[in-house]
Structures are given as C-alpha cells and as structure tokens.
C-alpha cells in the first residue's frame, strides 16, 4: 500500500487544524501537521473534515436471534463512520459469561465483521465472579452488569453484594465495570402503579422509570467503585444528576465515567409521544429541559463518551399500542456521528468534542489507547472524511438491510459521511459499503492482569 495523505480540517480531541493533513503508511498514522502536505495518494481537500473513526461503546448485535448479527451491525457502522464497535454480552439465547462463550462469539464475529470490534463480558448470577479472570484472559473489553433485572437468564439483575465481589475481582485487571443504572425496586413498584392506573401510553413508560431510579442506581455503582478501586462506568444516563455525580467522584480521585447515548442528546419526551415504541429505550428519554442539561454537561467536559446503545429490533417488536409491550432500544450506528455533528453545530460547540467523545475517550475507556482513538502518530489509520451537505435522514436507505425504521427519520443533518477507512483501507465510499465480511479485527484491551 502506497503512502496516503488525508487533507482538510483535521479534527483532534483538543482543537481543529484548519488546512491540515494526516500522513498514513501501512495503515498507521505517521505524521499529523499543517502546511504543504507530503507526497502520497491524496484524499479529501479544502472544506473536508478529517475525523478519527468513531468507537461505539455500546452495541447489541445479537439481541434478537436471527435478526441482525455482526454481518449487518458492522455494515451500518462502516457506512456511518464507526470504525470500532464494542458489543454487549446479552445475546439472545447466549449470555457471554464464560471464556468459552466469549471465544466462540469472537470467532463468529471475526468471520462477519466489516469494522473492528471488542466484546464486553458479564457474569451468570449463579457463578458470581468465578469466571472473571478467564474472561479477561480471553480478551474481554470490560464487564457489564445491571442493577435491574430485565430477564433472569438473558439480562439478569446483579445484587449489590455480588457486584461488590465482581468489582473486587475486576479491579486488579484495570478494566471497566459498566452498569445499566436503574433501581430494580423503584422501577418495579412504579411500573405496577402506572399499569394499575390503566395508562399504557408512550408517556407512561417514563413515569414508570422515574429519574430517581437512575440516581439511586448510579450512586450505588460509584460507591462500589470507590470501595473496590474498580473503574466504575455508567453505560447510559438520561438525567443531569448522573453527570453531576460522576464529576463529583472524579474530583475526589475515583475513576468514575459516564456515557450519554445519542438518543438522549437528540430526542425528548415529545418525540416519545409522537413515535411511541419506536422511541422506547431504557432508561427512558426525558423532557426537553433534561436533554438540554445534558448538552451543557457535554460542553464542560462531564460526559465521558457518546454511544448509540444500538439494537435493530424487527418492527413488529416496536409498534404495540401498549408501550410496556414494546422492546427497548433503537438503531443508531449509521447516524450517530452525523447527529453529534448536528448537535455541536447547532449549539456553536467546537467539533473537537466529536473526536474526544467518539474516539479518544472510548479508546482509553476500553484500554485501546495504544492503537485506537486518535489521529496521532503510531495509531491505526481509522479515518472519516465528511463534508457539509444538508440532507434529510431516510432510514429506508439503511446500509443495514434488516430494518428500515429509525426514530431519527426526517432529521435534517448538516454533514454527510463521504468516506470511511479502517487501518487505511476504505470500508465505505459515498455511503456504499465496500468492506467485505471478515475484514474487521478483534480488539484486545491492554489490561494489568
């Protein structure tokens, strides 16, 4: 492969180099600078954004059996400028809670993936922390738990005492413990009250899972992290209070991180009432004042990463008139980066936030910072070229062939994704995915264990 030169406004985590360039050789970044670009095969040009490839911290490729899988999730990723996905361990029919299961999932994903990927692991409550060391050795990117029991086998609740044991087992390895943050007792009690009132409307979902359920669970997670020395991560917070908590714990020296899913930044409660099940997520989407509060936290640095919590449910699982009967989760891989650029532009925030929240910070969160996450010398040349071109988002043109719905349908986007490269190789050009299944690589974190 000859040298490649990517020319344009180079978006770094702390600034934008207008009229900059990135030199790539052998799929690795060799130089980042300004002025006259060096010789090589040239991409981009004046007015083009040169961004680091996004790392989506939260993807569910296998939540519905025989529905999506890595063959399609990574196709959406390639089209949307996501060059690495971190996949969740709650696969339909297969909880990823042993080294053997993680290795089997890795092998299957390696045959399908079009972009790079890492894998979360979890535990079976019947086993406790017994498999954690072996899962780390097998390459787990981190560990995922839930304070709420969605399903006793596929998505179980982990009690505080058991989570304490697990955090202690994870801490020596230096990996994160990511937690779904809703208090089980509050949600179950409030859900029963709302259902008994006869309200099954879209708005009922938010009342059944009030903000206090998140705040209580988040406090528990951060206290467990403080007590054990484990890196404690909240995988999605829809409320400003969550970001206040994380910042407070960090100010006291604890590794307390927090994630804002793109739907919490782009949608509000009015959208839920309009879209019904198509906008159902857990925790729920909140009123507009909470959405704008999250943007303020993002602007001052209290958001660690932005993700999708992507899942492509079949449409029949999202359109029940009874909101409680709909599956929770929405697709977002193909549109997360354009949506974040939209939100930053509309609020006059520097585009460097995109490089930090979608690349630099996720790479460090999952201990991939030696190879991923930045346009920097020695890192993989995961690069996105984007230009200003206002267009309306149309999910019927998904690169993911298993769904044609999205809560973002009709959104006006100010930027389009022109080209995406993984390790210097093109994976999509003008929205057309050119990467073949099996071209993505498994990403193993650098743990202390």
Number of domains in the chain: 2
Phi, psi of 276, deg, nearest 5: 60, -135
Last residue of a domain, one of 341, 365, 389: 365
Which neighbouring-strand residues pair with 143? 121, 177
Under a CB-based contact definition with an 8 Å cutoff, are residues 200 and 191 in contact? no
Measured CA to CA, the distance from residue 345 to residue 233 in angstroms comes to 28
Residues 147 and 245 in one domain: yes
Print the domain residue range for 16.
4-50+378-433
* Residue 67 sits in the same domain as residue 116: yes
| SS3 (DSSP) at 62 | coil
**pLDDT for the residue numbered 241:** 98
pTM of full prediction above 0.95? yes
Q: What residue ranges of the chain have pLDDT lower than 70? A: 1, 447-449
Q: Encoding tokens for residue 219?
A: 């406090």
Residue 446, domain member (yes or no):
no
Whether residue 442 is contained in a domain is answered as no
- Are 221 and 202 members of one domain? yes
The answer to whether residue 449 sits within a structural domain is no
| Six token digits for residue 35 | 């002025």
Pair (41, 135) in one structural domain = no
pLDDT at residue number 127: 95
> CATH code at 43?
2.30.40.10
- The reply to whether 438 falls in a domain is no
Check which CATH number belongs to the domain holding 352 and give it.
Answer: 3.20.20.140
Q: Are residues 296 and 391 in the same domain?
A: no
For 418, phi and psi rounded to 5 degrees? -90, -40
308, part of any domain: yes
Contact 115, 61 (CB under 8 A): no
Q: Are residues 337 and 211 in the same domain?
A: yes
Classify residue 370: in a domain, yes or no.
no
Per-residue pLDDT, 153 = 79
Alpha-carbon distance values, 104 to 110, 195, 229, 255, 448 (Å): 10, 41, 31, 31, 24
Asked if residue 200 and residue 153 are part of one domain, the reply reads yes
Co-location of 45 and 62 in the same domain: no
Predicted pLDDT at 2: 85
- Whether residue 393 is found in the same domain as residue 409: yes
Q: Are residues 88 and 164 in the same domain?
A: yes
401 and 254 in a common domain = no
Do 223 and 305 fall within a single domain? yes
């Amino acid at each position: 492969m000859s040298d490649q030169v990517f020319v344009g406004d180079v978006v770094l985590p702390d600034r934008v180099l207008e009229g900059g360039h990135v030199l790539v050789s052998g799929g690795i970044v060799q130089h980042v600078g300004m002025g006259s670009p060096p010789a090589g095969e040239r991409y981009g040009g004046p007015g083009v954004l040169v961004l680091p490839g996004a790392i989506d911290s939260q993807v569910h490729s296998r939540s519905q059996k025989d529905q999506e899988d890595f063959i399609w999730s990574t196709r959406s990723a390639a089209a949307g400028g996501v060059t690495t996905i971190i996949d969740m361990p709650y696969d339909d029919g297969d909880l990823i809670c042993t080294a053997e299961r993680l290795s089997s999932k890795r092998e299957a994903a390696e045959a399908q993936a079009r972009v790079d990927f890492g894998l979360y692991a979890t535990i079976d409550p019947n086993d406790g922390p017994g498999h954690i060391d072996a899962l780390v050795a097998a390459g787990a990117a981190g560990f995922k738990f839930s304070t709420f029991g969605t399903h006793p086998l596929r998505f179980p609740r982990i009690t505080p005492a058991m989570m304490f044991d697990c955090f202690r087992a994870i801490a020596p390895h230096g990996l994160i413990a990511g937690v779904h943050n809703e208090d089980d007792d509050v949600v179950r009690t409030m859900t029963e009250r709302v259902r008994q009132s006869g309200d099954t409307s879209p708005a009922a979902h938010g009342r059944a899972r009030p903000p206090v359920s998140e705040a209580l669970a988040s406090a528990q997670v951060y206290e467990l992290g403080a007590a054990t020395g484990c890196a404690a991560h909240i995988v999605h917070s829809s409320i400003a209070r969550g970001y206040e908590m994380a910042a407070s714990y960090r100010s006291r020296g604890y590794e307390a991180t927090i994630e804002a899913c793109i739907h919490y930044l782009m949608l509000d409660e009015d959208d839920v009432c309009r879209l019904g099940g198509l906008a159902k997520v857990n925790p729920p989407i909140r009123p507009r004042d909470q959405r704008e509060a999250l943007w303020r936290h993002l602007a001052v640095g209290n958001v660690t990463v932005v993700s999708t919590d992507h899942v492509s449910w079949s449409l029949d699982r999202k359109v029940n008139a009874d909101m409680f009967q709909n599956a929770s989760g929405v697709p977002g891989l193909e549109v997360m980066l354009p949506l974040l650029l939209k939100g930053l532009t509309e609020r006059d925030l520097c585009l460097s936030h995109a490089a930090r929240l979608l690349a630099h910070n996720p790479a460090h969160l999952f201990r991939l910072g030696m190879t991923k996450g930045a346009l920097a010398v020695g890192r993989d040349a995961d690069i996105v070229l984007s230009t200003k071109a206002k267009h309306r988002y149309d999910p019927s043109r998904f690169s993911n062939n298993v769904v044609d719905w999205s809560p973002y349908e009709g959104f006006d986007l100010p930027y389009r994704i022109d080209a995406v490269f993984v390790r210097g190789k093109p994976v999509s050009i003008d929205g057309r995915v050119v990467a073949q299944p099996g071209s993505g690589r498994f990403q193993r974190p650098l743990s202390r264990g």
